[in-house]
């Protein structure tokens, strides 16, 4: 009997030693990194990383707030500067400042409280389908005032600020440009003129944009999206770039916005030490080098090399969002729903 107990104890100890710790990471739907890098992290830390796709970033935040009493993940990636105020208010994140933040320019850091560590940045911008405009002989709009007219509004698809982070960034840009009353008037006029408002970026870009078989030749996306169009074109080679990209940017005054995406640790995790390692991992050189041509954003860590195709990814100079506009984006989203979405 004694020998059996010894054997059972030894087997239990061996099982515990070999058992892997699981780290659950929830992300927006566009998250994409090399699986080999994730496998290397798992091997190095004797852990298993489980990913949950949480929808567009706005939907992701809604889900995290609804489940905050029983968190469904340990780490979140994909919340951005427009969503951070609401995440902070909801108390879903616990602070951790990665040592790697020292290599991120101060202008791209998501505050001093360590709730989100910046992984990447980009520029929300309107894109247009060059071939469609050339074929139809239509001049490009020159301002947001042009864009709200039926001639251009019916050609445009954007994302809802209630569910999409680029949609929210665009809303903040319009409020910043026009003021609240002017912004609601702009949105109502644009919708009345035929502008489509869809749930998320993937639907807008891959279903509604004319480049992908839709009927809208203007889409709210990113200033780096033209580079992606070149990269995924048949016969692409970085040593022989085309003269221009098939899509272009419309940097209409008041329409662009800087987006900072980060990674953070969720309150309630039982894997704090491993979660911190994952945050560091996301700011490490392998991931920073990998993500530009996977998610079409700029790596936050200064000096990270970029693929030559980023020649087609312009960096605009958006008008900074005023503090009073950025401080409570949820109030503006609620007002947008009332003033625009439900307006008759």
Name the average pLDDT for the chain.
Answer: 93
Residue appearing with tokens 């491993």: 274
> Cβ contacts of residue 232 below 8 Å, gap of 6+?
none
> Which tokens belong to 19?
């058992």
Predicted structure pTM score? 0.88
Low-confidence ranges of the chain (pLDDT < 70): 1-19, 344
Collapsed DSSP state (helix, strand, coil) of residue 126? strand
**Sign of the dihedral defined by the CA atoms of residues 311, 316, 317, 323, in that order:** negative
Give the three-class secondary structure for 262: strand
| pLDDT for the residue 239 | 87
What does the alpha-carbon distance between residue 218 and residue 220 come to, in Å, rounded to a whole number?
7
Q: What is the pLDDT of residues 182-229, one digit of tens each?
A: 999 999 999 999 999 999 999 999 999 999 999 999 999 999 999 999
Residue 276 contacts residue 261 (beta carbons within 8 Å): no
Question: Rounded to 10 degrees, what is the CA torsion of 272, 275, 277, 278?
Answer: 180
- Check residue 5 and give its pLDDT: 47
d(CA 76, CA 115): 11
For residue 344, what pLDDT is reported? 62
């Amino acid at each position: 009997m004694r020998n059996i107990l010894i054997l059972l104890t030894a087997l239990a100890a061996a099982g515990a030693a070999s058992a892997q710790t699981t780290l659950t990471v929830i992300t927006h739907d566009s998250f994409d990194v090399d699986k080999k890098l994730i496998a290397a992290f798992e091997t190095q830390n004797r852990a298993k990383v489980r990913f949950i796709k949480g929808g567009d970033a706005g939907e992701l935040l809604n889900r995290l707030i609804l489940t905050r009493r029983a968190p469904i993940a340990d780490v979140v990636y994909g919340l951005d500067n427009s969503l951070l105020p609401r995440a902070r208010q909801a108390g879903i994140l616990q602070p951790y400042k990665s040592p790697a933040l020292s290599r991120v320019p101060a202008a791209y850091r998501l505050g001093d409280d360590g709730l989100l560590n910046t992984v990447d940045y980009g520029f929300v911008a309107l894109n247009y389908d060059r071939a469609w405009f050339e074929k139809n002989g239509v001049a490009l709009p020159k301002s947001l005032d042009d864009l709200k007219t039926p001639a251009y509004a019916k050609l445009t698809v954007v994302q809802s600020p209630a569910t999409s982070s680029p949609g929210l960034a665009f809303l903040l840009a319009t409020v910043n440009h026009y003021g609240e009353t002017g912004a609601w008037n702009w949105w109502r006029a644009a919708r009345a003129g035929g502008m489509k408002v869809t749930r998320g970026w993937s639907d807008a870009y891959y279903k509604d944009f004319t480049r992908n078989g839709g009927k809208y030749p203007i889409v709210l996306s990113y200033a780096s999206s033209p580079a992606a169009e070149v990269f995924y074109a048949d016969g692409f080679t970085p040593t022989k770039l085309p003269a221009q990209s098939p899509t272009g940017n419309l940097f209409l005054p008041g329409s662009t916005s800087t987006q900072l995406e980060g990674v953070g640790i969720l309150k309630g995790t039982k894997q704090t030490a491993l979660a911190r390692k994952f945050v560091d991992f996301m700011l490490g050189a392998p991931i920073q080098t990998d993500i530009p041509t996977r998610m079409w954003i700029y790596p936050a860590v200064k000096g990270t090399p970029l693929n030559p195709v980023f020649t087609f990814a312009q960096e605009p100079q958006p008008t900074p969002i005023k503090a009073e506009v950025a401080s409570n984006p949820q109030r503006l989203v609620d007002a947008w729903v009332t003033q625009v979405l439900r307006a008759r």
